[in-house]
Chains A and B, each alone.
Chain A
Amino acid sequence: MKTSLRERREAVELSQGALAERVGVTRQTINAIERDRYDPSLELAFKLARHFDCRIEDLFDPELDETS
Chain B
Amino acid sequence: MLSISSLVPPVTHRSKYVSVFFLAGAIYAAFIVAGLPLVGVGAWVVVCVAGQVYRCRLDRPLFDERDRSLYQTAAARTIRTLSVGAGIVFPGAVVFFAVTGNESQWPRWLFFLSIYTMAFGLFFTGVYLYTRYEQ
B65 pairs with A44, CB closer than 8 A: yes
Number of A-B contacts (CB under 8 A): 29
Q: Is A29 interfacial (CB 8 A cutoff)?
A: yes
Give the interface size bracket for A toward B.
Answer: 10 to 19
Q: Which residues from 1 to 47 on chain A have a C-beta closer than 8 Å to any C-beta of chain B?
A: 20-21, 24-29, 32, 38, 40-41, 43-44
Q: Which residues of B contact A44 (CB under 8 A)?
A: 65
Question: CB-CB contacts of B32-75 with A at 8 A, as 1s and 0s?
Answer: 00000000000000000000000000001111111101000000
B60 pairs with A28, CB closer than 8 A: no
Shortest 9 CB-CB contacts between residues of A and residues of B: A25-B64, A29-B66, A41-B65, A26-B64, A38-B66, A29-B64, A21-B60, A32-B66, A26-B61
Interface residues of B (CB under 8 A from A): 12, 14, 60-67, 69
Known: A29-B65, A40-B65. 10 other contacts (CB 8 A): A21-B60, A24-B61, A24-B64, A25-B64, A25-B66, A26-B61, A28-B14, A28-B66, A32-B66, A38-B69
